[in-house]
Amino acid sequence: MVEEEIEVDVDIKTTADKFHMFIRRSQHVPKATRYIKGCDLLEGEWGEVGSILLWKLVFDGEPRVSKDMIEVMDVEKNVIQLRVLEGPLMKEYKSFLKTMKVMSPKHGGPGSVVKWNMKYERIDQKVDHPKRLLQFFVEVTKEIDQYLLSND
């Protein structure tokens, strides 16, 4: 199989810097969305490249975990990249890389745009593309945006 990718843009009202700074502090994300129940630091430092996080989440109504390593943390470009090391995804994919980039809107308006990109290699053709997971990140992004707007 070959590496494939899908992505989605989510318009939010929060500024790019504020949204990225909040996401960078992974331990605070669970208070902003019902989909993420916890995030534990297993190795390294919060927000540092090479650190390993254990996410506890609810996906399709089911409790799940994902053990991820931070591969990129670019504060200037508002980019975070996580490689999935363990969890249910690794039963269907040989590799899975999640990238979030927060950008200013194209036309200079208020708010920002969150681009979620997923690069993955399926174990075989029977495995679906992770479209439901992409939608999960859209919902999480919208909930975090609402949380940040209501806690100014």
Predicted local distance difference test score (pLDDT) of residue 149: 95
Residues 6 or more apart whose Cβ sits within 8 Å of residue 83 = 68, 69, 71, 95, 96, 97, 98
Q: Is 131 exposed, middle or buried (0-12, 13-18, 19+ CB in 10 A)?
A: exposed
- Please give the residue range of the domain that contains residue 53: 4-151
CATH classification of the domain holding 107: 3.30.530.20
φ, ψ at 6 (rounded to 5°): -135, 155
- What is the predicted pLDDT for the residue at 69? 98
Residues 78 and 17: beta-carbon distance below 8 Å: yes
List pLDDT tens digits, range 99-143.
999 998 767 778 999 999 999 999 999 999 999 999 999 999 999
Q: What is the pLDDT of residues 12-40, one digit of tens each?
A: 999 999 999 999 989 999 999 999 999 99
Per-residue b/e over 91-118, b at no fewer than 16 CB within 10 Å? Answer: eebeebbbbbbbeeeeeeeebbbbebbb
Q: How confident is the model at residue 152 (pLDDT cuts 50, 70, 90)?
A: low
Number of compact structural domains in the chain: 1
pLDDT of residue 127: 94
Length of the chain: 152
Cβ atoms 57, 64 nearer than 8 A: yes
- Look over the chain and give the mean of its residue pLDDT values, rounded to a whole number: 94
**pLDDT tens by residue, 70-103:** 999 999 999 999 999 999 999 999 999 999 999 9
